[in-house]
Amino acid sequence: MFIPFDAIRMYAYSTPSGEDYLCDRNIIDESKWYKATDDMVTNATIADRCGTKFPIWMKGTIPKTTDTIGHEVNRRACVPGIHSACDTEYLIKVINCGTYRVYKLKKPDGCPKSYCFGYGVKDTPPTQNTSKPTVEHIFTTATGFFRYQLNNFQCVFPFLSNGNHTLHYQIYWYIDDVNAFVSDAVEKEEFDKTYLNENNGILKMGIRISCSVRLKYHPRGFPGPMSVKSDNFFAGVKLSRHSVPIKRGELEKVELTFTVPIPCGFVKDAVQSNDIDKASCPMNIEMLVPNGPAGTCESTLTAESKCGVEIKDPDTWNKSHILNILHKDTGNYKLTPAESERKVYLRIYDFEIGKAWRGVDLPVINVHIEETIDDWKGSSCTAHSDPHMKTFDQISYDNHINGTFIMYRYQDSDGNIMEVQIKVTPCNLHTTIFCVCGIAVRSAGDVFVINRCPGLKRNIFEFRSCIDNTLEVRKIDDLNYKIYMPTGTYVQTRLWLYYDVNVMEVDIFPSMVDVNNSEGLCSRLGSEKLIRRDGIAEPHSFRPDRFSQSWSVRYEDNLLDMPDENVTQLPSLLTSYVVCTCENSESIVNEVTCSDEKRITCDIFKSKPLQKNTCYARRRKRSLQEKLSYIPNNFIPHHHREKRAIKYDSKVVMNTNQARSFCLNYMNESEGYKACLDVPNVNPEHALRDCIADIQLTNSTSWATAAREGLKSLCFKELSQNNTLQNITESNGVSLVDRILSVACPSECSNEGTCDNGTCICNTGFGAADCSININNPPIVNGVNLDHGGLCDKQHCSKAIVEGDLFLDMPTLTCKMHRFEIPYNGNVKYLDKTDVKADHNSISDVVCPFPKSRRRRSAGSSFISGYKISMSNNGKSFSPSHMMYILDSTCQNTINISGEIRFVLKDGFCFINGHCITHGTQDGSNICHICNYKSNVFSWTVQSSKPECEKEKTSNLWIIGVVIGCVAILLCLGFLLIIIKKKNRIIGTVPPPYEK
């Protein structure tokens, strides 16, 4: 076979019909020169010699090595025929290159005709033949930038003997049944020279390899008969299946099996070491999935934890390796055809050892996504104040019991618990009406809580734990939030004020996993029954209190009131929910995106994730407590709440028909409500029932808004997940979704604004998404960095977290930052004031970034700095101020004096020019200066032991007189300070933590 710029040889191979020949016609490139280590045969050949039917030989002589190097000569090549040694002639060219020649050859005019090279010895070929060989893998040692194992394949058969003749073995190698390489003819002692490897033929794994053998008496002599070709040996990775059905949102496994071991490098410490360095050869088989259409929100295929399979231990090569392919669903009701049929590509990525495994593509896996049951589609479970309950199967009842309840619970096959708890309290003066005021959502070890119930010193709106990081909380606006569980089930909660009482509406929208598996006040989806905690179905003539009471939360399980240490001890995920989306373009460039969600959130509402500002705050507080002696309680209670824009309505008394008439008229005044009636699975009767019941229970129409907004929430859920609706375009060219959203403003803007394309434009003086809050009154602030006691360690602090209530997501939400410094002694110094745009996180917490244009610290005098912070929704009316102190816990400490915080310097440190300096540290700019905390904690001390520093020491003697004059006073003060805190310096006066 001809190889450009490599040795030319004439080799034969077995055709499917059994005839041995090699055709040069489709191999030779007439524009190229071919290098030959063995010259072309110059003696006339005959048919069926030289490994082909018609071996082509050269007329004339071979240019001698003594001839001019580089000189080109013309020669004639002869094709033997049946009756003549030269039936046909070709013009060829030869150049002498000293130790070798290069040839420019003409393509033969037919097959089987091939050029004959290297048969320089005329002898009688052997008549023996070997038995059928087999192919086996073997490692040898290769050297490049480092020593490593080289993949080789050997052709295995019993060696033969032939009396006085020495036998030479020549191996013919085939890749995917095509001849790829022919070895030199060697004796059995040099048989390793016949191996097939990445340097002489094999390029990549994932191929079928076979071999055959010919015997020779002389390396350049005529060969004997060709042996039977071996069976194909597949070298690479086998898949257990190439077509995989996956149920929607579920996981399937594909088994991967290596047929050859994984090569590694050798330990580098010893040149001749044969110890394997296992860290040099991790094998990554990565999964790649073609991208969907740009800008679409569609499901995809992912891998759990990583994009594929990682083999860290090469000794496990012959064990089964599992590729977990997961369908990452969108929650849409139907899969598109493109989503149903997917292809998964597998590639070995970035393998460093040798060439054989680099960039190897494995067979394509065809995946079919199967649709599942439909019971979850269009379903919801609700707790709408007062609270009117509705199960997933649309069974309605009221829950007028004070307490905390399991509204929803699901436990997967691995024992991971997903749970929603709600707290119900009286929400009017006569305690006849009950409302949801708090909610806790759990995903295994993660807990998110909104607790705005009466009697709390401080509203809770935070991740109490996020060790698994599987809950995603998204803010639609300042009053509406969604909490997504990794199963795809999600909770939507709407906050509002019933006059001056915090009220919460809760909707839970199920996913496929909930069918026949959900528990709680939502009951078992698909059962059409109310299933109590004991598993017994409540009779149709049920007592709703008995069913509700069965799902009451025990004290030790109450996620809203559970102590922090118990929350952090909840069992974390027993299996990983982290998945990696492995997208690739046409060029198969892997783009890996890993997240904690097994579902893709496709929502018609623009939202942003809630920041986990306080998730690890208590953990950091414990860390700060290890560094500081005192963490103050800087919480300031403030119970004033501004009433909603709605006015108290006079007492009304209506019978059922009158109440129904009022509710119908009231709801039909809402363009959003009327538009939602065109959406399937949105039943207005549930909203009307709640509205009528509220009027007759309370003799008030104030709750009608809650019923109407509850129907709109279900409507929006359908628009987000029913992708059939998303594709409806009406006669005027406007989509159904856009038409409904354009008129669906929250709470109809509370009569204090106008609805403009789905957004409330509030009247002057009002804000929030529904214009329900008077922004002329400042928000409630309970404190800054509450979990740190108002302290900010400069080592990892660049912002202030302000907590309270009624922070509105408005462009005018403002932090007033009044910077201050506390000198070594003396009173606090107030410096510049700066208004900073706040970063709204939730209605209960915002982030105030530190101003970028901060002035430099006062030279040499400041010890502690900080900000006095107040908040405003409209940028004009500000709350009382709260203090935040910035310190360096490396050398600064806090102490408690009569309940007030004071700052001191830790032993073993100086504090010079605003920096913590360890005792004994030398000034980099003056070798005579050293930190000696026993002599002077706020200035450099002169090193008197160094002769070169004597002059500086003398120049400072005049100070001694002044110092002696103050000794008495200093001793008295020092005695007092030692009593308070031995060897510490108490710095300055500290402003109070709260100023009106």
DSSP string, 371-429: P---TTTT--EEEETBTEEE-TT--EEE----EEEEEEEEE-TT--EEEEEEEEEE-ST
Question: What does the block give as tokens for 61?
Answer: 């002589």
Angle at 442 between CA 439 and CA 446, to 5 degrees: 125
> Do 825 and 863 form a contact (C-beta atoms < 8 A)?
no
> Does a cis peptide bond (omega within 30 degrees of 0) precede residue 245?
no
Which stretch of DSSP H or E encloses residue 755?
strand 753-756
- Which phi and psi (to 5°) does residue 138 adopt? -150, 145
> Do 450 and 504 form a contact (C-beta atoms < 8 A)?
yes
As a CATH number, domain 381-569 is: 3.40.1000
> Do 772 and 766 form a contact (C-beta atoms < 8 A)?
yes
- Which phi and psi (to 5°) does residue 636 adopt? -115, 110
**What is the rounded distance in angstroms from the CA atom of residue 548 to the CA atom of residue 561?**
20
**What is the rounded distance in angstroms from the CA atom of residue 81 to the CA atom of residue 88?**
8
**pLDDT value of position 671:** 92
**What is the rounded distance in angstroms from the CA atom of residue 278 to the CA atom of residue 280?**
5
Whether domain 138-235 has CATH 1.10.357: the reply is no
Same CATH fold, 381-569 and 138-235? no
| Other C-beta atoms lying within 10 Å of the C-beta of residue 668 | 13
**pLDDT value of position 541:** 62
**What is the rounded distance in angstroms from the CA atom of residue 722 to the CA atom of residue 334?**
7
Q: Angle 967-980/958-965 helices, nearest 10 degrees? A: 60
> Do 423 and 437 form a contact (C-beta atoms < 8 A)?
yes
Question: Which residue, among 208, 203, 191, 189, has the nearest Cα to 151 in the 3D structure?
Answer: 203
**pLDDT value of position 5:** 36
Which stretch of DSSP H or E encloses residue 721?
helix 704-721
| DSSP states along 304-315 | ESSSEEEE--GG
Alpha helices in 512-669 (DSSP H): 544-550, 564-567, 617-627, 656-668
> What's the CATH superfamily of 237-370?
Immunoglobulins (2.60.40.10)
End-to-end, the C-alpha distance of the chain in Å comes to 94
- Which phi and psi (to 5°) does residue 971 adopt? -65, -40
**pLDDT value of position 921:** 94
**Exposed / middle / buried, residue 862 (Cβ in 10 Å: 0-12, 13-18, 19+):** buried
**What is the rounded distance in angstroms from the CA atom of residue 572 to the CA atom of residue 471?**
12
> Do 136 and 154 form a contact (C-beta atoms < 8 A)?
yes
Beta bridge partners of 339: none
Only one residue has tokens 């669903």, namely: 329
**pLDDT value of position 10:** 40
Q: What is the mean pLDDT of each run of 10 residues along the chain (996 residues)?
A: 36 36 69 79 75 82 78 90 84 86 86 74 79 96 86 95 86 87 89 90 86 89 87 95 91 93 84 79 84 70 75 92 88 86 85 85 92 88 89 91 96 92 82 87 94 86 88 91 91 86 92 94 94 87 83 95 90 73 53 62 78 60 76 78 48 90 94 92 90 87 89 90 87 90 91 93 94 94 90 87 93 96 85 94 93 57 91 96 94 91 93 92 89 91 82 52 44 44 60 72
**pLDDT value of position 15:** 34
**What is the rounded distance in angstroms from the CA atom of residue 666 to the CA atom of residue 654?**
15
Whether domain 615-628+778-996 has CATH 3.90.700.10: the reply is no
Domain layout of the chain by residue ranges: 13-115, 138-235, 237-370, 381-569, 615-628+778-996, 656-774
Question: What does the block give as tokens for 304?
Answer: 């759990």
Question: What does the block give as tokens for 836?
Answer: 């900073």
104 by DSSP, 3-state: which? strand
